[in-house]
Amino acid sequence: MRQPIFALIDCNNFFVSCERLFRPDLENKPVVVMSSGDGCVVARSNEAKALGIPMGAPVYKWRQFFKDNRVVQFSGNFELYGDISRRITDVLASVTPQIEVYSVDESFLGLSELKIDDYRAWGRAVRDKIWQWIGIPVSVGVAPTKTLAKLAANHAKVHPALNSVLSLSPLPPQPERQRERFILSHSTAKNRVRIFPSDSVKGLSFHAWLRATPVQEVWGVGWRLAPRLQAEGVHDALQLSQLRPQHAQQLMGIHGRQLVAELNGLSCYPLEREGKAQKSIARTRTFGEDTGDIGSLEAALASFAAKAAFRLRVDHQLARRAGVFATTNKHKPGYQVWRRETYFPVPTADTGKLIASVVDLFHKFYNPHVKYHRAGVWLQDFVPVDHLQTDVFGSVNVAAEGRSKARMQTLDSINERFGRGKIRYAAEALGNKWEPKHRLRSPRYVTRWNELPVVHTLK
């Protein structure tokens, strides 16, 4: 079998870059995009990062700072970002069918089948194509494992001399590793230089790149594991790669063992090409305002159920299990969570049935004196539509199931033709106090007819 080789294509500051597509005047200015309900910062331009605004910054604490520093704010326009994301996926799929869409702004490509002599030149060509056709800047990392490709892309993003592309292969020969290990054991772990000022980065060895990667920036090491590793004297990716596999497993579980192998160039995570079926679907929101209003709460849950059911039908799946939860504000004393779930003997993707079920479940714990802050609906235990089996008593009502299917198809096709939400269940419209605010949302330029950008010409 051929040695695997991966590329990670990672969009730079993706949400901000999408906003700038239609607002070129925002180039070189600090820009942030906020989460649903304008609660916290979920994307920052380089200029905003340079101002010290952290990921996840609570907006209410930073409002004055944004004003003082002329930071441009956007409410998340996730419809827009999803559309741009699909366009990028289309471009990448034209490069190779060996593609795994990892998230809205990242894709892995499998390169072992392609005949590539120079990975840097190849990476630059892909970067240029996406820039030219879509207008989004990307970084490219190439390496024999996904973990190393991620690491390479992260460096490609922050060192201008790399021109957004870093290839980390092939691996250096064994003797060098031994030498570096010796040197490492005599160096101080802290205060190691990470940011290289000049073109010298191009000549750095594989091991130098690992050494320049703080352990908490390694894919798979989060905020809980990082301090544990540091306590063991593991401060960077090179040291992590030199842990004994058994020790890594003790510290991080089975995942740690694979992580160490991946850092050593041994691929453990294959490309997941097929659009693997999801195992659960959830739709949850923090409300626009805390509320105990039963109409609004039922409307929220009905709306979540409708959205989740639609997603289920797009995936050609049926759910055996549905659940609902609601919470108070977790930042206030007396935080509480309620949850209930139910099981369907005959799995379903019928919006009406799901709405009825979740509203029913909600009433089992609803208390009119509670101000609810957040709620959600989830679906689980899926079976493919064409595998609908009868329940143990064979009591599937074939005619009723047929009518349900036809009803949903009609609903979906009308909404597809005339715009989403054109037809909905009355339960979704009983109140709107739950709806999150998005005062600063840009137009949905490419997904809504009435929000198309207007071009003025000078005569």
* Site for DNA, rule CB under 7 A: 35-37, 39-40, 42, 56, 58-60, 102-106, 150, 218-226, 253-255, 278-286, 289-290, 311, 329, 331, 374, 376, 378, 436
Find the shortest distance in angstroms from Cβ 299 to DNA: 15
* Complex with DNA: residue 180 or 377, whichever CB lies closer: 377
* Complex with DNA: residue 35 or 241, whichever CB lies closer: 35
Q: How far apart are CA 412 and CA 261, in angstroms?
A: 47
Find the shortest distance in angstroms from Cβ 304 to DNA: 8
* Complex with DNA: residue 180 or 248, whichever CB lies closer: 248
Find the shortest distance in angstroms from Cβ 353 to DNA: 19
Find the shortest distance in angstroms from Cβ 89 to DNA: 13
* Complex with DNA: residue 211 or 374, whichever CB lies closer: 374
Find the shortest distance in angstroms from Cβ 225 to DNA: 3
* Complex with DNA: residue 32 or 104, whichever CB lies closer: 104
Find the shortest distance in angstroms from Cβ 339 to DNA: 8
| 373: nearest Cα among 344, 330, 405 | 330
The two structure tokens encoding residue 334: 């007396």
Find the shortest distance in angstroms from Cβ 36 to DNA: 4
Find the shortest distance in angstroms from Cβ 308 to DNA: 7
Does residue 34 contact residue 75 with C-beta atoms inside 8 Å?
Answer: yes
Find the shortest distance in angstroms from Cβ 35 to DNA: 3
* Complex with DNA: residue 59 or 383, whichever CB lies closer: 59
* Complex with DNA: residue 5 or 305, whichever CB lies closer: 305
Q: How far apart are CA 13 and CA 292, in angstroms?
A: 38
Q: Taking each helix axis from N to C terminus, what angle separates 351-363 and 294-314, rounded to the nearest 10 degrees?
A: 140
* Complex with DNA: residue 177 or 214, whichever CB lies closer: 214
* Complex with DNA: residue 161 or 277, whichever CB lies closer: 277
Does residue 88 contact residue 133 with C-beta atoms inside 8 Å?
Answer: no
